[in-house]
Structure 1
Amino acid sequence: MYEIRHRIGIRAPMREVLSAVSTPEGISRWWSRDVRGIAADQFAVYFGGPKPSGVMRVDCDSHACTWTCLKGPAEWADTTIVFDLRRDGDETVVVFTHAGWREPVEFMHHCSTRWGQFLLSLKSTLEGGPSTRWPDDVAVSSWR
């Protein structure tokens, strides 16, 4: 199995970072404007279409949040997206992993770039700057 990995430091309390990656309201501030809770532990994310681009189950504890992809692109089937959090000085360090890719297809490379962009959006938003969530993000290719 293959995975995408990123690390970012955010000058915000851990509880705020955890809320931003575990609730539809928080996720809609940095990933997509249209994130809808569909169950106590699930959300759907939309990127402009009438159907969700992804449906995730959310499992969190005080130091990590894991999303399991229930619906989405075929390459995302059964993958997990993990936000491991820890304090380091005045930062909350986020170690991000999108794990379970069956092969390193071109779409995985595209998603790596996009996750990097959206993690910078998370950082900016929590540090009081502008959000670059979808659709305010930079399109990296015709795939968006």
Structure 2
Amino acid sequence: MSFSIYHNLVVKAKITDVYNAISQPKHLINWWPLYCKGIPEKGEIYNFNFTDTYNWFAEVISCETNNHIYYKMKASDKDWNTTTFGFDLKAENNTITIEFWHKDWQTCNAEFKQSSYCWAILLQELKNYLEKGTVISFENRE
């Protein structure tokens, strides 16, 4: 048995801007990690750095421009190492629905619950980044 996190949010933004915000390191650092390096192509490795202790790596297992990107954790902490997370984008009228998921958690432990909460906060920061251009410094992020 495994556990999964799901969050959907609707943003008023161009689909290319949304895709770039979830796939391009220069945009990811504006709402999630402190430092990021990677290329949105299948098989490429991303470095998501939060601190020296939390210097994580994930492989792109699937991506399609303006449609989705999925990451499989390769080096992180023991709870995240088994997981895969991704973003599916659905365009409707003048909005984009971001369907976020984070699957394959082995236990519904404190780390799982904290990660679900943190993703909700971070996705709100993504929404504010896309709609308002708001960038919160890494030190001030939840």
Residue equivalent to 2:105? 101
State the Cα RMSD in Å.
2.0
TM-score of the superposed pair, with normalisation by structure 1: 0.85
Residues 90-111 of structure 1: CA deviation (Å, up to 9, x unaligned)? 1110010000011111110000
Given that 1:79 and 1:101 are in contact with CA atoms closer than 8 Å, whether structure 2 keeps it comes out as: yes
Residues 70-119 of structure 1: CA deviation (Å, up to 9, x unaligned)? 11111111311010110122111001000001111111000001101111
Tell me which of 40, 43, 46 is aligned to 1:43. Answer: 46
The reply to whether residue 120 of structure 1 matches residue 121 of structure 2 is: no
How far apart, in 1, do the equivalents of 2:7 and 2:45 lie? 24
Change (3 A) 1:51 1:119: closer
TM-score of the superposed pair, with normalisation by structure 2: 0.87
Residue equivalent to 2:134? 130
Q: Report the secondary structure of 1:78's partner residue.
A: coil
Change (3 A) 1:51 1:107: closer
How far apart, in 2, do the equivalents of 1:106 and 1:50 lie? 19
Given that 2:3 and 2:104 are in contact with CA atoms closer than 8 Å, whether structure 1 keeps it comes out as: yes
Structure 2 stretches lacking a partner, 5+ long: none
- Deviation of 1:122 after TM superposition, in Å, equals 0.8
Change (3 A) 1:39 1:93: closer
- Deviation of 1:38 after TM superposition, in Å, equals 8.2
How far apart, in 2, do the equivalents of 1:70 and 1:90 lie? 36
Residue equivalent to 1:55? 57
How far apart, in 2, do the equivalents of 1:48 and 1:109 lie? 21
Structure 1 stretches lacking a partner, 5+ long: 139-144
How far apart, in 2, do the equivalents of 1:3 and 1:134 lie? 26
